[in-house]
Amino acid sequence: MMVDEEELVRRLRAGDEAAFVALVHEYQGRLLRAAEAVVTSRSVAEEVVQDTWLAVVKGVDRFEARSSFKTWLFHILLNRARTTAGREHRTTTIPDDGPDDRFDATGAWASPPVPWSDQVDDRLVADRLAARVHELLPSLPPAQRQVVILRDVEGMCAADVAAMLGITDGNQRILLHRARSRIRQHLESEMEGA
| Alpha helices by DSSP H, the chain | 5-13, 17-36, 42-59, 69-87, 116-119, 123-136, 142-148, 158-165, 169-193
- Hey, where are the domains in the chain? 5-87, 116-193
Which CATH class name applies to 116-193? mainly alpha
Give yes or no for a contact between 76 and 55, defined as CB atoms under 8 angstroms apart: yes
* Calpha distance 164→76 (Å, rounded): 9
* Calpha distance 5→9 (Å, rounded): 6
Question: What type of residue sits at position 3?
Answer: V
The arithmetic mean of pLDDT across residues 100-118, rounded, is: 66
The answer to whether residue 189 scores a pLDDT higher than 70 is yes
Give yes or no for a contact between 160 and 171, defined as CB atoms under 8 angstroms apart: no
- Condensed to tens digits (0 to 9), the pLDDT of residues 33-65 reads 999 988 888 999 999 999 999 999 999 988 888
Q: Looking at 11-15, 83-87, 88-92, 146-150, which range is the least confident one?
A: 88-92
Looking at per-residue pLDDT, the higher value among 33 and 191 belongs to: 33
Strand, helix or coil for residue 146: helix
Q: Looking at 43-52, 105-114, 135-144, 146-155, which range is the least confident one?
A: 105-114
What are residue 109's DSSP bridge partners? 103
State the pLDDT at residue 80: 92
* Calpha distance 118→184 (Å, rounded): 15
Question: What type of residue sits at position 171?
Answer: N
* Calpha distance 27→117 (Å, rounded): 30
Strand, helix or coil for residue 103: strand
- Condensed to tens digits (0 to 9), the pLDDT of residues 3-29 reads 577 788 888 889 889 888 888 888 999
Q: What is the average pLDDT score of the chain?
A: 82
pLDDT band (50, 70, 90) for residue 154 = confident
The Cβ of residue 99 has, within 10 Å, a number of other Cβ atoms equal to 8
* Fold type of domain 5-87: Rna Polymerase Sigma Factor; Chain: A (1.10.1740)
Instruction: Return the half-sphere exposure (C-beta side, CA atoms, 13 A cut-off) of residue 169.
Output: 4
- The DSSP code for 101 is T
Give yes or no for a contact between 145 and 179, defined as CB atoms under 8 angstroms apart: yes
pTM equals 0.61
Looking at per-residue pLDDT, the higher value among 6 and 150 belongs to: 150
